[in-house]
Amino acid sequence: MKKRNSVIKRKTKRSPRGGSWKYLLVTVLCAVLVMAGFFLVAVQHFATVELGIKNSELRSKVEELEAEKRRLLLARETALSPAELARTAKRLGFVERELASPDVPVLAVATKPETGPTMASSEPAVERIVYSKPVADAPRVAERDRKAFDAAKPEQKPRVTVASIEKKSPADVASRSEGRPRRVAESAPKTTLNAAARLK
């Protein structure tokens, strides 16, 4: 009986010491787990921050590249603009094909003294028709206009002819001018020179 009680006593004495170790172990385990958790969270946090920084850098890189793409597009468009191409071609020695019509003012200046009241004169064309006198009847007006038209007709020729010649060559201009009446020929050389200079 006594023996049995002593056994029981021993058991009751041992159990708190064994339990405390267990508690300690569990506590340490939990602490380790918590610490590990905190550590993982911290690692994750800093990794997120690092990734965020990288993400931000990449985003700004994309934006920079897009901006660069736009700049390159702009540079390409500037280089390919018709005016720039014309300038470049001129710099390289290319000559524009002469398709344009003759230089109007030069021709007009050359023929001005001879053209009289035509549309090519520097005076307004409407002044060719004189309105200052009262018109008696239609036939008289018609006759006067016919005379005015006939008078103006031969003097329109130099302007038109020279214009058509200039499209071809300076040699043609010179040869055609020779057969003209004197006053027309006087104006022709100026035009010829101008035309030749332009074609050169």
Binding residues vs other proteins (CB under 8 A)? 48-50, 52-53, 55-56, 59, 63, 67-68, 70-71, 73-74, 77-78, 80-83, 99-109, 118-120, 122, 124-126, 128-135, 138-139, 141-143, 145-146, 149, 152-153, 156-157, 159-161, 163-164
Residue in 165, 163, 161 with CA at minimum distance from that of residue 173: 165
Q: Are 152 and 118 in contact (CB under 8 A)?
A: yes
Name the minimum Å distance from CB 40 to other proteins. Answer: 19
User: Which is closer to other proteins, CB of 146 or CB of 183?
Assistant: 146
Alpha carbon distance 138, 146 (integer Å): 12
Q: At what angle do helices 138-166 and 170-178 cross, to 10 degrees?
A: 130
Of 182, 108, 171, 99, residue with least CA distance to 192: 171
Q: Find the shortest distance in angstroms from Cβ 130 to other proteins.
A: 8
**Shortest CB 49 distance to other proteins, Å:** 5
- The Cα diameter of the chain in Å comes to 170
State the minimum distance, in angstroms, from the CB of residue 21 to other proteins.
20
Helix (H, G, I), strand (E, B) or coil at 69: helix
Least Cβ distance, residue 185 to other proteins (angstroms): 18
Closer residue to other proteins (CB): 191 or 192: 191
Is the sign of the CA dihedral 52, 58, 61, 63 positive or negative? negative
Cβ–Cβ under 8 Å, residues 128 and 118: yes
Closer to other proteins by CB, 12 or 132: give it. 132
Distance CA 5, CA 101 (A): 136
* CB of 33 or CB of 62, closer to other proteins: 62
| CA dist., res. 145 & res. 147, Å (int) | 5
Nearer to other proteins, 108 or 185 (CB): 108
Nearer to other proteins, 18 or 139 (CB): 139
Q: Provide the minimum distance between the beta carbon of 124 and other proteins in the complex, in angstroms, as a whole number.
A: 6
